[in-house]
Structure 1
Amino acid sequence: MPVLPYSGADLAYEEHGRGAPMLMIHGSGAQAATWDGVVGDLAADRRVIVYDRRGYGASTHPPVRDHRRHVRDAAAVLEQVAGEPATVTGWSAGANIALALTVERPDLVRRLILVEPPLHGLRHATAPMLGALARAKRDQLRGRPREAAAHFFRWAAGDSFDGAPAQERERLLSHAANVLAELDPHPFGVLFEHLPTRRIRRVRVPVTFLLGERSDPFFHGVRRRLARALPAMRTEVVPGATHLVHIDAPAAFAAAVRRADPVPPVDPVDPVEADTGP
């Protein structure tokens, strides 16, 4: 993977396809490879850029608690790799980053696709969510970081976590230290409590919310609150999917993304006009 040196980190990224750019931002615990099952489909008629967030995968860096850094990183990737405004697709914590990026840098975002952001999770926490976080903290204090992170993933993704491909589960658990750092309270943390709803209401680009049919009720609540803030927001429910939407149902996920980001048809070339020979 090529790297973009930026603010003390080398951000590893990949580009696939040609055309209008789409930046895809992964969630906590994951890395760019989480998109492998969908990037080929999406890159058939657009330029897809994926990257390892700071501290994940090949973008080596200590765990980051201040998520404003992730927003600045995403802006740097758009400015220096995409080189033009892009559709931004974010999943889970990556969707919070994508939303904050759109608020902070509307000049860089053409369309926004949010895949179950855990937005304002502290003020809207549910009992199952709090229980999972308590179990995660218990195992973290016992020196069992992978078990601690697994509690969080089993709450977020339900039975899809244990049923996910072994390689994907291992990627998630290998970043346990990052996940646990992000779960610690921070004034600018992963749940973006610092991003006020009044600023979200100012978003003017087209927004689509992708929701797994079987996802935890918490994410359905996030969708309802964002729909009130952004009345023009579209919603698509992916049948049978949980929070791991792109892994549970890759074909349906890619189709939903395509509908949210339609690529203009290319006018056919007139063979007479195209003939420039003698």
Structure 2
Amino acid sequence: MHVVQAGPREAPPVLLIHGSGASGAFWGPVVPGLAERRRVVRIDLPGCGQSPPAASYEVTAQADRVAALLDELGLADVDVVGHSSGGYVATALAGRRADLVRSLVLMSTGPSPDALLPQPAILKLMLAPPFGPLLWPRRSDAMIRKGINATAAKAVELPEELIAGVRNIPYRAFRTLLACNGAYLAERAMPERLAALDVPVFVIFGDADPRWEPSSARDYEPVAGRIAMLPGVGHLPALEAPEATLDLLLAFTGAEL
């Protein structure tokens, strides 16, 4: 699994897990600020960015691979931040290896299948047969940018490293990832999963998220210590509002040190 670290090695660790169709580069705008106080660990999940495809993309299998990585790095009591479906991996990690997770931050993570909004047309075109398998390997940088920006409230500048990482994702891997994430959520809603865990939870949502119904953030109220709604922000808080997102992450993870 591809890993990038920043910040003092002796500082309290924070793990950043990206969502489907992205890579660790998604977190680029918030890393410098986090690294001033924390040991920041970014990963590319299997089949994404610079990490090779995996035999299984089930959420629990992804969580087990992340756990193995943290063991290899000698890290425990980690503040784990998951964006979108990365929040499912983070939650599964806390459920399977509670010793590794100090707190959970779920960012733009849909709570249940009912909260999912209709998919943007550009994403349908790029993913669904018969055109998806043909278009996917021929995607231009402009098409990738358009696809990612379709999930934002307004167009944002995207890191070149993120575009390159998305380009590396195989079509089959991405489709399988989406199916496995959907199965994980359909099996049990996120608030129910979180209720079974003994870990602090912080939820961040954009109030203009076009992927998940923004009001569904309230579904987390029984299990989250705090829910923050970012005004005018879509599905990509770290890219759309990096300063506000950084402040929230530091306030939550830093206040408990």
TM-score of the superposition, structure 1-length normalised? 0.75
Aligned counterpart, 2:186 = 193
After TM superposition, the structure 1 = structure 2 runs for residues 1-278 of structure 1, keeping only pairs within 5 Å, are 11-18=1-8, 19-62=11-54, 64-121=56-113, 123-126=114-117, 128-129=118-119, 135=125, 136-138=127-129, 140-141=131-132, 143-145=134-136, 146=139, 153=148, 156-160=151-155, 163-165=156-158, 167=160, 168-169=162-163, 171-175=165-169, 177=171, 178-183=173-178, 185-186=179-180, 189=182, 192-196=185-189, 197-216=191-210, 218-228=212-222, 230=223, 232-262=224-254
Report if aligned partners of 1:119, 1:191 keep a CA contact under 8 Å in 2: no
Report if aligned partners of 1:118, 1:191 keep a CA contact under 8 Å in 2: no
C-alpha spacing 1:176/1:35, structure 2 compared with 1 (3 Å): same
Match for 1:116: what amino acid?
S
Report if aligned partners of 2:120, 2:150 keep a CA contact under 8 Å in 1: no
Displacement of 1:79 after TM fit? 2.0
CA distance in 2, matches of 1:244, 1:211: 9
1:205-254 CA distance string (max 9 Å, x none)? 211111123212724244122223x1x43011223321111011111111
Displacement of 1:61 after TM fit? 1.7
CA distance in 2, matches of 1:14, 1:181: 25
CA distance in 1, matches of 2:176, 2:147: 12
Aligned residues: 247
The residue matched to 1:208 in structure 2 has which SS?
strand
- Show structure 2 runs of 5+ residues with no match: none
CA distance in 1, matches of 2:15, 2:39: 9
Detail structure 1 runs of 4+ shifted over 3 Å in the superposition: 62-65, 123-126, 129-136, 138-142, 146-156, 168-174, 188-191, 195-199
Report if aligned partners of 1:112, 1:205 keep a CA contact under 8 Å in 2: yes
CA distance in 2, matches of 1:36, 1:22: 14
1:101-120 CA distance string (max 9 Å, x none)? 22222221111111011343
Q: Which protein is bigger by CA-based radius of gyration?
A: 1
Report if aligned partners of 2:46, 2:57 keep a CA contact under 8 Å in 1: no
- Show structure 1 runs of 5+ residues with no match: 1-10, 266-278
CA distance in 2, matches of 1:151, 1:181: 22
CA distance in 1, matches of 2:28, 2:183: 24
Match for 2:135: what amino acid?
R
C-alpha spacing 1:14/1:125, structure 2 compared with 1 (3 Å): closer
C-alpha spacing 1:44/1:172, structure 2 compared with 1 (3 Å): same
CA distance in 2, matches of 1:26, 1:227: 23
Report if aligned partners of 1:100, 1:195 keep a CA contact under 8 Å in 2: no
The residue matched to 2:45 in structure 1 has which SS?
coil
Displacement of 1:193 after TM fit? 2.2
Report if aligned partners of 1:67, 1:189 keep a CA contact under 8 Å in 2: no
Displacement of 1:38 after TM fit? 1.1
The residue matched to 1:218 in structure 2 has which SS?
coil
Instruction: Compare 17-26 and 214-223 and name the one that shifted more.
Output: 214-223
Displacement of 1:204 after TM fit? 2.2
Report the identity percentage.
24
C-alpha spacing 1:21/1:74, structure 2 compared with 1 (3 Å): same
Displacement of 1:90 after TM fit? 0.6
